Amino acid sequence: MKNMFKAFLIKYGEIGIKGKNRYLFEDALIRQIRYALADVEGEFDVTKEQGRIYIECLSDYDYDETVDALKRVFGIVGICPVVHVEDEGFEKLVEEVTAYMDWMYPDKNTTFKVSARRARKNYPLDSMEINRELGGRLLEAFPEIRVDVHKPAIMLNVEIRQKIYIYSEIIPGAGGMPVGTNGKAMLLLSGGIDSPVAGYMIAKRGVKIDATYFHAPPYTSERAKQKVIDLAKLVARYSGPINLNIVNFTDIQLYIYEKCPHDELTIIMRRYMMKISEHLAKESGCQALITGESIGQVASQTMQSLAATNEVCTIPVFRPVIGFDKQEIVDIALRIDTYETSIQPYEDCCTIFVAKHPVTKPNINIIKRSERNLEEKIDEMMETAIATVETIVVE
């Protein structure tokens, strides 16, 4: 019965999208819908008319796959599968709608209301008349069913257009705003659980995502790098294509290891990650950084440590999971399907150079003093790291 749906009506939030913003919002939403459907088998036409977005299914298509893809598009509040019928007179319409109700709702012990909309004004009945007539005929056809005009269990929408559109289901969408409506930010993407979730959460607010991964070969393997690419791919299912920068961080890490107190390694390393990420962010027009940090999760995420890493940044740093417990982050990771990939056991550069007893309350002045040991070569090393970045478009 699923393949009786020949179109989808897309519902989206309309708060704050008046005037010019509305166009931007709708155009971005259409672009993201097309992107999401590109990989789905079937041919689709996405159009905007009279403040609504329709997806017409021009060929056979996989219903479940299509709905899943649409559920990943930020900005969609509801997905309504639509049945098309030809306009062959009101009697025929009554027949079609009755059949539709019978298919969709085997249990008739429920309430409904007809909500007609006459987009084509030459239809002989106006919307009030359609509501009344159709409602009455359905009551005759299904003695058990009742009308509830205030809180119907089934809102039966009938839209008179060139064809007649019938729909009553609303599948919840991802919410948020279409990617591309709120600027761009640089995600520090590691192979862990938290950073893919952080990227997802900011993309959900309409922000386009670029990403940077710090790779430390041979201490971190090709497989660890591939894992990050795989994670970027999973985030891109929601955010659209991601430019993933892979920074070779080995020399900088070894240099810090050689020159600085080992209990400060993680903090100093993280400060250089932030600096390089900010440089790459500015280069590619990103207005902020994103990390997967959460207060107190590890030594490098205490309030003092966060202050120490934040201190090198001049653009905003978004930490959307800052107040989340690990389990709450895991729950999102499971929902967006990044968890299984994140828990694959490949080392990352932070764990390899980690000290046994890292400082948990770094003092910025002491950290800065340690960093003076790096003065001789660090600028050149950062330049080299930036000049040798490998950028992959992940989609």
**Binding site, annotated residues for ATP:** 188-189, 213-214, 270, 292, 301
- Per CB under 6 A, 194 contacts ligand ATP: yes
Shortest approach of Mg ion to residue 358 CB, angstroms? 14
Q: Is residue 117 left, alpha or beta, with left meaning phi > 0 and alpha meaning psi from -120 to 50?
A: beta
- Per CB under 6 A, 293 contacts ligand ATP: yes
Q: Contacts with ligand ATP in 203-232 (CB under 6 A)? A: 212-214
Shortest approach of Mg ion to residue 329 CB, angstroms? 12
Contacts with 223 (C-beta within 8 Å, 6 or more apart), sequence order = 346
Shortest approach of ligand ATP to residue 344 CB, angstroms? 12
Q: Say how far apart CA 329 and CA 204 lie, in whole Å.
A: 15
- Which residues sit in the known binding site? 188-189, 213-214, 270, 292, 301
Which of ligand ATP, Mg ion, none does residue 298 bind to, with CB < 5 to 8 Å depending on kind?
A: ligand ATP
Q: How would you classify the pairing of strands 184-188 and 288-290?
A: parallel
- Per CB under 6 A, 242 contacts ligand ATP: no
- Per CB under 5 A, 192 contacts Mg ion: yes
- Per CB under 5 A, 253 contacts Mg ion: no
The correct pick among 17, 97, 203, 350 for binding ligand ATP (CB under 6 A) is 350
Q: State the DSSP string of 16-42.
A: T--THHHHHHHHHHHHHHHHHHTTSSS
Q: Say how far apart CA 103 and CA 202 lie, in whole Å.
A: 40
- Per CB under 6 A, 188 contacts ligand ATP: yes
For residue 281, which amino acid is it?
A: A
SS3 state at 187: strand
The correct pick among 190, 243, 302, 370 for binding ligand ATP (CB under 6 A) is 190
Q: Is residue 247 left, alpha or beta, with left meaning phi > 0 and alpha meaning psi from -120 to 50?
A: beta
The correct pick among 75, 176, 192, 206 for binding ligand ATP (CB under 6 A) is 192
Element (H, E) at 349: helix 349-352
- Contact set with Mg ion (CB under 5 A): 190, 192
